[in-house]
Structure 1
């Protein structure tokens, strides 16, 4: 079955993946070209968009994704592109087509059959998933935070267990605890650990009068010598101290060798009991069910790209975001899989698509590291600002760091909604934070 092909054969640009990079690119292209002579198609497996760095807040109930998510169908109508709900199954570079897997409902009944979509230019931005490194038991016994559905599932499990412990305390069990183990001391693991205590504090407002943060036993496990390896050591140490002040048990210098239904087993022989286990260590490109054999990939499954963000084997195919492996000239390591990199890549791919359609030379991607910020919920924010922001490097904490951290999300809102609606949503978000419940419990 063939996908959308217009009789006048407009220039067809297909973007696979509606994350931060893909959605921003579709918005830019739609705003620039509209639908008269260009057909811009966004293919995404989900029907709504949630900014991935906020999934830890969805997981604890601090963020109501029903309010903050973006529906692709309404968004595409506003910005002049088309949305197709589907999952990439392969790329046929010779035919210039992408293969889209059948779309089925929750009963397994087929909604849309397997089909192909023609492209003149293709942009692959299908993102990444957490890498469990093949650790025995991890896939079966851990939660992951790669999607809103996974974050919702974690939240439901967390709240149910808190209710269970609260009831046990009322029945006289003074030792009842919610034991949570998080693998991975990067930004996701650290931010989730802090957010859990915010959730525990808030639960007392919602009928769990006997439950508080003292009932939490949170363990953060990092295989490396320290948490937050992307940040300077002094800032990571400050975050470490803040977590311990909250009550988090931070374990570094040892990895997880096995995950069971009730514990984490560590390389040093320790066993950490845990009622809830979450894996947040490492990322890899999202696996594709079919074939990408026409394109070069690395060991992590990422698409190897040139500095122009074109794939090495086909100049009509670009890749960006977490699924792209881009090592710039003069650098030893690829561009890190971070939201700011995805945002910058979207701008470069947009510029290069415009140039390619005008037969002009393409420009190389230039990554500007603006620093890293980590939010420890409402308790603190730490990080560093770098590059053009401050003309060097500057460690920041407290309110300034929190303001800059929130600004990253606000920039994303403006990029996908424009200045008028983006600013309105920022104001609405500020109001909601003060009038809506502190936790989403359902």
Structure 2
């Protein structure tokens, strides 16, 4: 076997960008060249984790199996968590994998690579806030989203029981961070809690007995987007009875309350942290340049200072424009980077000279879901260069189409269409909110 035949591209992280790159490379070169590593067995589109947390999306029905995708798309899937990356020896050490009953399924393994692509995403950044890691839930993974869902169900049952006993009780949910995740979760929770009364929790008045408070440190929610989008989203939240507090910086979190920098107390039975991100800490141990939030510093070609190590998505600091700015953490960035890296990885696998390329991000705007029938967004006019503001049902439908476009990039048109139609029909026979 020649070196060209043996060239192994290992992609760590099966998120939006990593999975798309693996699927497209696998279709072209096969499982002997393309390896995808992830510590989860199923893929879910990360922007939909707020729906998992609210119980309006069932991960066991909506998730895509990496094993199925590997067989279908022609790459090798390696199930496991990275323990160490040895850049000098060009190999990765993986932790052993255990079942829920602590039975070893896969032992510790070593995986060699010729080219490494890091697509490990990001996790919540608590910024050293006392009590945040202990008492707040961060929706970084399906496991955390499921943990929140079960705690929410417990709190709803408790509140319903107290109300049925004619006690005065209010369930308080606090969300720290008024970005897209916080806004979408607040709206989704309001609708999910309203639906819960149809499942026997009918002593509750969802509007009066469940208080949802969104706390944002900036002077407006969705501060990274236009003021018009911020104002529209805040109005939609307010119309749903959600309390929005801006210019509030959370100083500490306790078991039953949040405290801001002015020591104002906000009672909470459930707290979600959605106020900033950082890349996984193990990236700082690679001996490569990283920034203050652990992102790997890469050039315009997404390559680190090690010519065999690339990074993409939320875990990479990529230059953007001429003003010393860097690309935002968005799903559309990861998608475009997967498309950009495809010919580069192909040339490396084929042993060809790699052509110099610079990644150019095309911003197509932003869409934010505010419940199942409303949304807000701004679209970039590709031909005119103008921003087009959209809201209401149109924005929500366009937001839903993003999920379908993600599936289309991985599964293709026919599979995506069949999947979407099947899910639409299955919804008629499933509960609106997952309570089991």
TM bucket (normalised to shorter chain) is over 0.9
1:208 to 201, 206, 231: 201
- Counterparts of 1:197 and 1:134 in 2: how far apart (Å)? 29
Aligned-pair CA distance for 1:8: 10
- Equivalent residue for 1:339? 331
Q: Partner of 1:423: helix, strand, or coil? A: helix
Cα shift at 1:105: 3.5
Correspondent of 2:255 among 244, 254, 261: 261
Mean CA deviation greater in 23-32 or 104-113: 104-113
Say whether the 8 Å CA contact 1:91–1:294 is kept in structure 2: no
Asked if 2 retains the 8 angstrom alpha-carbon contact of 1:368 and 1:387, the reply is no
The Cα of 1:114 is off from its aligned counterpart by 3.1
Q: Distance in 2 between the 1:102 and 1:6 partners?
A: 31
Q: Tell whether the 8 Å contact from 1:230 to 1:372 is kept in structure 2 after alignment.
A: no
Equivalence for 2:13: 17
Gaps of 5+ in 2: none
Equivalent residues in 2 for 1:7-156 (5 A)?
A: 10-35=6-31, 38-108=32-102, 110-156=104-150
Change (3 A) 1:280 1:374: same
Once the two structures are superposed, what CA deviation does each residue of 1:38-87 show, in whole Å capped at 9, x if it has no partner? 42111100111111100000001111111110111111011111111111
Return the alpha-carbon distance in structure 2 between the equivalents of residues 390 and 191 of structure 1.
30
Separation in 1 of the partners of 2:383 and 2:252? 43
Mean CA deviation greater in 326-335 or 54-63:
326-335
2:55–2:149 CA contact under 8 A, matched in 1: yes
Unaligned regions of 5+ residues in structure 1, if any?
none
Q: Deviation string for 1:140-198 (max 9, x for gaps)?
A: 0011101111111111111111111111111111x211100000000000011011110
Output the CA distance in 2 between the equivalents of 1:362 and 1:6.
Answer: 25
The 3-state SS of whatever aligns with 2:33 is strand
- CA distance in 2 between counterparts of 1:389 and 1:178 reads 49
Say whether residues 1:414 and 2:411 are aligned partners: no
Q: 1:336 aligns to what SS in structure 2?
A: coil
Number of equivalent positions:
433
1:299 alignment partner in structure 2? 292
**2:293 corresponds to 1:281:** no
**2: CA distance, partners of 1:152 / 1:6:** 47
Secondary structure of 1:265's aligned partner: strand
Shift in alpha-carbon separation, 1:234–1:207, aligned structure 2, 3 A? same
- The CA deviation string for residues 369-419 of structure 1, in whole angstroms up to 9 with x for no partner, is 111111111242011111528642111001221121111100111111111
Matched, 1:249 2:243: yes
The partner residue of 1:351 within 343, 354, 364 is 343
- Aligned match of 1:195 in 170, 188, 198? 188
CA contact 1:91–1:291 (8 Å) conserved in 2: no
Q: Say whether the 8 Å CA contact 2:17–2:119 is kept in structure 1.
A: yes
* 2:284–2:290 Cα contact (<8 Å) kept: no
Distance in 1 between the 2:160 and 2:57 partners? 23
What TM-score do you get using the length of structure 2 for normalisation?
A: 0.95
Match of 1:163 among 146, 150, 157: 157
Q: Distance in 1 between matches of 2:382 and 2:143?
A: 37
Q: Could you say what secondary structure the match of 2:155 adopts?
A: helix
CA contact (8 A) 1:308 1:352 kept: no
Matched, 1:388 2:407: no
Give the SS at the match of 1:310. coil
Q: Does the 8 Å contact 2:97/2:104 carry over to 1?
A: yes
Query: Given the alignment, which residue of 225, 238, 249 partners 2:219?
Result: 225
2: distance between equivalents of 1:216 and 1:120? 54
TM-score of the superposed pair, with normalisation by structure 1: 0.94
